[in-house]
Chains A and B, each alone.
Chain A
Amino acid sequence: MDKIFSTLASCISAQEPVAIATVIERSDVTQGQNPSPAELGATILVSHIRGVQGSLGHEKLDAVVARDVDAALSSGRSVARHYGSAGESRLDDVTVFIDVFAPPPRMIIFGAVDFTTALVKVAKVLGYHVTVCDAREVFATKRRFPDADDVVVAWPHVYLETVADRLGALDAVCVLTHDHKFDIPAIAAALSTSVGYLGAMGSRKTHAERVERLIDAGVEPSLLNEIMAPIGLAIGARTPEETAVAICAEIIARRANAEVRSLRDETGPIHLVAS
């Protein structure tokens, strides 16, 4: 681990996906199993860009672990696995901890409005790389969104095309524009990506209109169910900050398959009437 640590640090600061695999437990002769040549703490680093560095003490074990690291990198989950001394499956001579360091998930927010300022802040707390995009250059300024990683002046669907192939299950697109002119092409474009969460702000009435326009724009009706609209959990949020929490909580819940009430799944006004 010691020798590999600097490389790991460089990969992480460059936001490259990287994983390390460390021997955390090994059998010895007294246990009647095959003694493993792997030293406790031996570590390899696996990166698609930099290849495999280091060794766990056996070439075959290195190869098998590197393959499993690839799988862990796709899932984004760190996990401990057991192997034989030469990488055999179903043996337990050596336990290897595969520690995955995926780049931060992305949140792309369309619409440079007040709700956006609050959503950027909450998303940053959760570790997202946040991009704010709006076609109106008066609003889309770094000065208005100092916490955002990027502020882009562009039509949402045009920007989305440039990042579409990089969006995955852990990423989120939030459409806060409230303006069909921008919403419709943005949502249509987002639906054709693999993004894990797509939410759109607006009342039920706004969304009903939006659905009609999306169908008119040629969106496959079966895809409409992917859109979380009205956006957010039904927690009675009113202020931009509360709404940002409701949106982020919905993203977490959807990713975890947790059963909670989303505004989309309810009826009635989205703002609770104060009693």
Chain B
Amino acid sequence: MKDLIEDIERWRAGGQRVALARVVAVVGSGPRDPGAAMAINEASEVIGSVSGGCVEGAVVTEALGVIESGEPRLCTFGYSDDEAFAVGLTCGGTVRIFIEPLN
């Protein structure tokens, strides 16, 4: 998240609504450790990352929902047979991501 602070501060100073998404738990093989973060503003600009690119798209969608509702949410992304076409991690692990509004 360190690398995101400057951009987040700039967005906030410019009156943009911002959501912060952080990896809070990884079960099995995951590409990024807890603490990996990305930030999304209401114009859908994105900085940072929470995986190897596997779930970023879905996180953006969730984050825009968080900006709209103002309510934080905890999302779980993983791979299972019956969800083969849902968003998952190609590495086979499960990642939990906490998304919260920053305004």
- Chain A interface residues toward B at CB < 8 A: 1-2, 5-6, 8-9, 12-13, 22, 24-25, 40-41, 77-80, 97, 99-101
**A28 to B30 CA separation, bound complex (whole angstroms):** 30
Closest chain A residue, CB of each to CB of B97? A24
B1 touches A40 (CB 8 A): no
Closest chain A residue, CB of each to CB of B98? A24
Chain B contact residues (Cβ within 8 angstroms of A): what range? 20 to 34
A9 touches B9 (CB 8 A): yes
Closest chain B residue, CB of each to CB of A6? B9
**A231 to B67 CA separation, bound complex (whole angstroms):** 50
**A14 to B25 CA separation, bound complex (whole angstroms):** 28
Main secondary structure on B side of the interface with A = mixed
Measured CB to CB, the closest approach of chain B to A77, in angstroms, equals: 8
A80 touches B25 (CB 8 A): yes
Main secondary structure on A side of the interface with B = mixed
Q: Decide yes or no whether B43 CB sits under 8 A from chain A.
A: no
A97 touches B22 (CB 8 A): yes
Neighbour of B103 across the interface among A2, A80, A97, CB < 8 A: A2
B2 touches A12 (CB 8 A): yes
Contacts of B9 in A (CB 8 A): 6, 9
**A9 to B1 CA separation, bound complex (whole angstroms):** 10
Q: Decide yes or no whether B101 CB sits under 8 A from chain A.
A: yes
